Every structure is written in structure tokens, then in C-alpha cells.
Structure 1
């Protein structure tokens, strides 16, 4: 009966592309548990030690879930013979985007040559948007094998992988004892100040702090200087992402801008390129904070504004938004007016007209096409709202700037972005 249950569980897992292994608790070869990640891709023997460490802590009453430093999760439990264990994994509880992959390679101080192999590796691992079914399957198996006393235990990367870094002599300058401590503390102080500057939208201060950081001793972590510059820029991007989030910018805006920077960062060819990209990042994140900071609004109004800003062509009527957000329409309307000082309809039209102004100056699209891209299905209603807000028709708005010199026009476009 027990073997039937185990075999049935394994069959379900394998049919759904989950990798499973049966291993002896001692004296076995564990190098294929992670589908060859450490042995074949990273070329390290760490898995044998890590697996032995994990198996020491297994007992028949517990189902263990371990997440390693590569964001991979494994389920493990001892089988009734008490000599072997069933291990399932790796599985992913979060999607490994290109940005997360770059961050991971940087955090683990891996060479960029591992980017492509790791991407292929992650593409072949099951992603679980909701881990509950996976965890419940093993908990049910544990209870069938060992009764109701079976429990779940979770372990993080510190338990599974031991990648200790020695700090003696790190950044040490001969003849200047403890200078390495000063260097690290200074760098972290500047990073915290950059977070504060970005979070307040203070572009001038943030740029000054970045210039100050360039003057500090930044250690070269890799033999490839260009990869090192890219990694430091990725770190800066991560810091600024968190600063914008702290300021109350919705993650959808942050993620969109952050992802747009990935190909730009990867094109860095020298130190000047890196500094130009970093300045671009500072400007971009400060603009995000200025344009999309929502901390002064209640959570419900923040959600309304995010819905409007992310899809101007959607049905943004009061009834549609109240239904989408599960809120009473009258309450939503009153709350929005109270916090923003204008009705929902006027706010939606204002945002749509702002975008229309940008398209009128930066493209040669027909006015009817611009109206549609801004969420207006009726071009006459669009023109009416445009004139009410801007005090002139869309056609006159565009024509009045055609004769302007290019520099002035670019400045206007910048202010509208």
C-alpha cells in the first residue's frame, strides 16, 4: 500500500515534468539531484556536501522544503524503509526574469559566461505561481506514510548552501589598517543617501552622490573590467528601483522602466558609457517618483490611479473601476474627489489629454489615431475635451509648435515625459 502511494505520487510528478530522485541517506552520489546545476554548469562539488547536510536533518515525521541560493526549491522526505529519501526538485516559486538572473549572477560573483547556461537551466524548471498544491501533495504523502503527526519544515539558502566569504584583508590598503572598514561604510552611507535622494525626486542631489561614489575605492570584483562596470550599474539600478518603490511608485511603472534599462546596461563598453547610463537611470527614476508617487493617497485611490496610468484605452468609467476594485461606486467617487480635488472623469480626461499632447509633438500620427491611442473613441469628443483643458484644438496645438527650433521642442517633450 505504501509503495503504491509513493509510486503514484512519483508518477504524477514525472507526468507534470517534475524531476524526482530516490537516494540513500548515506553513501550515495547526489550530484544529479539539482539536474546537474552545480556539477555540470557551475563546476563545483558543493552539492554533495549540501545534500549530505540536508539528509542529516530528515526524519520520518517531517516533509522538508529547501530553497537554495539559486532560488530553486526541493521537497524531501524519508521513505518507510528509513534508508532512502524521495527528493523532488528543482522547482521555482518565482519567475527568473532577465533582471533577476543578472542580479543573481552578480550576487553570487559568477562570471557572465554562466548567464546563457543558467537561462536555459531555468527555462527547463517548473514554475509554480501557487506553491500550495505542490506542498500539499507532499504533506498528504507524509501523512499517508506516517500519520497525522507529519509536519512541514522550511529551510532557506543559509541552510542549504554554505558559501562563506572570508573578509580578512578584503579591500585592505597596506600601511592603512582598518581602511577597508572605512571604505565599505562610506560606500553604504552614499548608497543610503542615494536612496533618499531618489525617493524624494531630487535629481541634482542624486547625481552629486553618484559622482562622489565614483571617487571612492570601488573594488574590481572580476577580471573582466567591462562586466564589473555592468554589474555595478545593475546594483545601482536595484538600489534606485527600491528607492522609487519606497517613494510610493507602483511596481508596474518601476518594472517597466527597469526592464528597459537591461539592454542599455549590456551595451556598456567603457567607464564613460557606464557613467552616462547611470546618469540616465538617476534622471529616469527621479521622473518616475515625480510623476507617479502616490504615498499621499489612500490604497484604494492609489489603485485607481495605477489602473488609469497603465491603460488609458481601457474602460475607465466609475462603474467599471468600482466593479474591478470591488468597491461601492458612490464611495469610490467621493473618496477620489476628496483626495485628488477633481472628479474621476476629469482626472481620466486630464491624463489622456496629457498623453495626447506628447503624441502630437513627438509623432506625425493623424489626430483621429491619437484620439484612439489615448482612449477616446469619438474624435469630436476628444477635440472638445482637448480644447477645454489646453485652451486650443489639437490641430492648432501641433501647428503652433512646428516652427519652433528643435532644441526648444525637445525641451517641451522632456517636460511632458
Structure 2
């Protein structure tokens, strides 16, 4: 593995845990993104940033000195010199925490550093957003594996704790502006959330995806130190919102419960942050598809009941006579009303629903096509393939390959 591949692997490893990494070339200049704007928010004069951070030994590149840093504000970083001919480069990792940030921890730190009380809400949010690595031996093992491949000669991993030069001058301006920004962000998030639900209730996946992307631009604040658990909790809420949106769209609870349960099981078995982050897009796609295929919102109560009977009993006999008997209505009246409201004969509607449900199952499951045809009430695979091709212009197998290629 060459140096670039090694660095990419290490960076991906930390980024997967939601810990920021950066490659920086000399001369090194302070960037507010380095500490996620902690000092920019707290300090009155950011020119004294250097007094709150660590200072490496001279020529630490040549000495292969790797730093495991705890700064003045109890945030942790790694500083790793990267061998590069004719250039001084470091890989920085952080900030991250080594323990959960309770309110008591934040208040104790604020007292120790004389941080004004107006900054307590910001500090609480900041520290709970940091990923937590509780095991120092794990970090040391990662560094040992990296350094043994990165350097030809000996190296040292040095713990570095910055005690700082107190007193530090903090910003004590009225926090009204910052609070207003937070209020505006929350209002925007709820407005966008409602727009996303409205789009799902219409089965409009394209608009729902746009609202989802807009929402991701300002995001949800992290409330737990455990990043994976925090994301799972958010996705439980998001799954509920999507289910309610599809319910508003006129989807029968049976379908909603099936899909909602499937997502609930799926997200609890996932531990990859990147996979969890991809799940909201999958949720809105499948709930929108559910609305497209199973919404009865525009029908009268009688036709809603008829459609529900059809959709929930696709394996059964769904002739006009059978449905009229089950609904206790005259079959001529049912046929006339059904065609008036749906624009389709009952026979054509049943066939269309069977194929639409087949499309839904091809999109949401990996079941064999023969089993899908049977679930849809068409035991003859050849006939299922024939009418599927008539509707979609391709066979079920071709359709499944197409959707896999687009994922």
C-alpha cells in the first residue's frame, strides 16, 4: 500500500466515525474550521488562539513526532507529520472527545476557564456534537499501525496537554443574534420537514428528495455522544414522519406497517455511519412509491373499501361478483361507480394493481420473481411476464437489473 492509499484509508476510517481530518502544508495558519468554530465563538480576540493550543517541537517532522493532543478546552486532536520530499505536511484528526459531555462537565469546564455563562448553551451543544472515543489504547493501536508504515526510521507518539495562558479574553456580547440564528434554523427545519411530508403524501419522490437535500444543508444537531446511536434515533423519528405522510396520502395501514417495520429492523442492524446517512433517501423513495401504488385519498368511501379489498387480497378471486357480494352492493352499481371514479374497469384495475404491486416488490425486496408473481395473484410466470412487459416495456428481470443499476 503506497502512502496515498494509506492516508486515504486512515482518513476514511476517522471520517466514518464522523471525526474530521485535514492534510495541511506549511506554513501552517489557523483556520476556524479546525476546531469547528469553537474559538471564533468564544474568544473576543482570535489573535490569541495560539495560547489555547499546543506548540510542537522544532523540526518535529524530521523527528517523526506524532502528537496526541488535549487542548485548553478539553478537545482532543491528532497531529501526524507526513513524509513528503521538499515539503512539510501534517495530517490533523479532530476534534473529538474522550468522555460523554454532561451538563456538569460543561459547567465545571466553564468555571475552570472563567467562560461567561452566556456561552453555556453553545458549549453544551458543541461538546455533545463531538464523537467520543473512550479507549485511548485503540487510538494508540491505530497510530502504531499507521506510523510503522509511514516512517522508515523511529518515531514517537507524544501526549500533549495544553494548559493555556489564563486569563483568556472571552466575547461577552449579547447573544441575541446567535439565538435568533438558532430560532431561524429551527423554523426553517420544521417548514422544510412539512414540505417533505407533503411531497411524500402526493407520492412526489423528486420534490421529496429536493426537500431532503435542503434539510441536510442545515441538518439536525447531534444530541448523543454516540454518533451511531444518535443517527439511529433520528432515523426512527424520520421513519415515523414518512409513515404518517404516506398515511395522509391515503395508504392503507397494512402497507404502512409492513414498510415501517422493515425499516425499523433494517436500521437497527446497520452500524456503518455512511449507510445510515443513505437511509433517509431510501425511505422517502419507498414511501413515495407506496403512495403512488396504493393511495385511495381521492375516492368515495365505497370505492376506497373496494380498492382496499383488491390491494389487500391480490391472491384471491377479485371478480366483480365477488367484490359486490363482499361489499353488499349491486354489482352493476359497483361497476358503474368504480369506472366513474377510477377511470378504469374493475378487471383492468385489478390487473394494473397486481402489476404495480409487483413493481413495488421488485423495488423493495429481493424475492424471486416467481414468488412475486404468486404474491400478486398471478401464478403463471409467463402470463405475469407478458402483462408486465405490456405495462413497463421490459420483463421483470430486466426491470430489476435496471433499478439495481440506478441505486
Q: Which has the higher contact order (CA 8 A, sep 6+)?
A: 2
TM-score by length of 2: 0.48
Larger radius of gyration: 2
TM-score by length of 1: 0.47
